[in-house]
Amino acid sequence: MLSQEVNDRYTRVGAGTPTGELMRRYWHPISTVSQMNDKWTKKIRLLGEDLILYKDRSGTFGLMEPHCAHRRMNMIYGIPEENGLRCPYHGWLFDETGQCTEQPYEETEDPDARFKDKIQMKAYPLEVKAGLIFAYMGPAPAPLVPNWDVFAMDDVVRDIGMTILPFNWLQAQENSLDPVHLEWLHGYWSNFITEMRGEDSKWNIRTHEKIKFDEFEYGIYKKRVLSGGSDEDTSWREGHPIVFPYFLRQGGDGFNRDHWNMTGPAFQIRVPIDDYNTAHWWVMCHQKEAGAAEQKFEDIPFFSPPLALLDENDQPQYSLLDSNSAQDVAAWITQGEIADRTGEYLGRSDKGIIMFREMLEANIRRVEDGGDPMNTFRDPAENVYHGMVTELSPAAAANRSSGDMGGTGTGNLPFLRQGMASKFSPIMNQRGVAGGADADERRKKVGQ
Ligand code: FES
Ligand SMILES: [Fe+2]
């Protein structure tokens, strides 16, 4: 149970709030490059600020405050020029740093006028990596965009999903530290959903025998032994990484692609739009087919999984609840816009959540003390490639038992069958390995 003050401390993300200032030390994905293929401007909301993302005719992206510094027309109507975005109202032009570079009428009156030099729109730096456009809203100098393996590995193809979830970021992130919900939300409830859908396949639910959480360089490993398993299982020895502040790492690792389990490395990312909304990203790497050309950023497929909400009769939409992510989202939405943690009772299954809150608190304090929070990289030599071993890694495969959750034998957990991202992934659908097919069938199709 948290006090209201602490719940606010960990959930509010506006400028000047403790978590808002922490979040301003990280680069956040705001759009895919491919989402900008057919448009020049796009509304963005990030950490409680409304912004306009644009692309100029030279292909440079910019991110600026929405209202023109002259007489406040919204720059969503802006006209792209070779270098920057021009306000259509009176033609003032701004570059990607927010600097006004042309003021047509003012310059006509006085060619030497330097009025424009004084006009600076608020603008934030952007960087493109892995087909995503990242923004940084914190103090200069900005750190490097981390080369997480999901972003940095080459010789793969990616697809990227995003859905805006109408609740606070921390609910989604805390869920990743909550192992036991797997057997209930994705097991027992899954079986009920299957029944409601008129299907007869049932999961053989494996209960949690023990759980633990280990801190590591980038975050926390979540570890478990399920009924029928043992300490030799990769789910116990290697585990499932949560990367601070808001990533869940899924899939195998990037060191050896021979053992990717249907998808390669993937991230779920929970970017705070504001206190009450979260941009939930799924970034997925897949095997590149032999001889295929390098995937261009503008060709990366973008998808947006639908939200499973109650229907018009306030009944669960079972038709949409057949994936683990949809089930997760149903749980998170119903916790409220910001979960009231003054009314929660944490049990021994929740020690990972407590550990994550301690990590959050420690990093808020690091920022308050003028330091960099964890996962800040400033030295390029230390930012070459941040790989991590997972329970689905080839390095872990030697340890994998047939009862293991990532097992190639009797793996029988729902998420192996249908993650939301895999259900809607254009690449997996194209390859015929997405959707509700049986897990063993899918593994056969991908040759594992
Ligand atoms: S309002 Fe933008 S140029 Fe006048
Ligand atoms: Fe889940």
- The answer to the question of residue 5 being in a domain is no
- The answer to the question of residue 290 being in a domain is yes
Look at residue 430 in the predicted model and tell me its pLDDT: 86
The alpha carbon torsion through 10, 11, 12, 14 (nearest 10 deg) reads 90
Looking at the CA of 121, name the nearest ligand.
1
Kindly report the number of other CB atoms within 10 A of residue 361's CB atom.
16
Q: Kindly list the distances between the CA atom of residue 13 and the CA atoms of 22, 28, 29, 45, 237, in Å, as whole numbers in the listed order.
A: 9, 13, 16, 12, 35
Mean pLDDT of 387-404: 64
- Residue 228 near residue 246 (C-beta atoms within 8 A): no
Mean pLDDT of 305-327: 89
CA distance 260 to 252: 6
Contacts of 427 (CB under 8 A, 6+ apart): 157, 159, 284, 286, 301
Q: What is the distance, to the nearest Å, from the Cα of residue 350 to the centroid of all Cα atoms in its chain?
A: 22
Kindly report the number of other CB atoms within 10 A of residue 100's CB atom.
22
Domain count, the chain: 2
**Which backbone phi and psi does 100 adopt, to 5 degrees?**
-75, 125
Q: Hey, whose CA ends up nearest to atom 1 of ligand 1?
A: 71
Residues 44 and 159 in one domain: no
The ligand 1 atom at the shortest distance from the C-alpha of residue 91 is 3
Confidence of residue 255 (pLDDT cuts 50, 70, 90): low
Residues 347 and 232 in one domain: yes
Q: Which of 74, 107, 136 is the last residue of a domain?
A: 136
Q: Which of 104, 136, 168 is the last residue of a domain?
A: 136
Residues 121 and 170 in one domain: no
Q: Which of 136, 163, 182 is the last residue of a domain?
A: 136
Max CA separation in the chain (angstroms): 82
Tens digit of pLDDT for each residue in 277-289?
999 999 999 888 8
Residues 153 and 132 in one domain: no
Tens digit of pLDDT for each residue in 342-363?
999 999 999 999 999 999 999 9
79, exposed or middle or buried, with CB in 10 Å at 0-12, 13-18, 19+?
Answer: middle
Ligand 1 proximity of 119 Cβ (cutoff 6 Å): no
Give DSSP secondary structure letters for 65-118. -SB-TTT--BGGGPEEETTEEE-TTT--EE-TTSBEEE-HHHHHH-TT--GGGG
Residues 220 and 340 in one domain: yes
Ligand 1 proximity of 68 Cβ (cutoff 6 Å): yes
- The answer to the question of residue 107 being in a domain is yes
Residues 405 and 256 in one domain: yes
Ligand 1 proximity of 90 Cβ (cutoff 6 Å): yes
Residues 87 and 116 in one domain: yes
Tens digit of pLDDT for each residue in 61-76?
999 999 999 999 999 9
CA distance 206 to 202: 12
Q: Domain span at residue 234?
A: 149-445
pLDDT for residue 412 is more than 50: no
Ligand 1 proximity of 67 Cβ (cutoff 6 Å): no
Looking at the CA of 248, name the nearest ligand.
2
Mean pLDDT over the full length of the chain: 89
- The answer to the question of residue 287 being in a domain is yes
Mean pLDDT of 161-172: 97
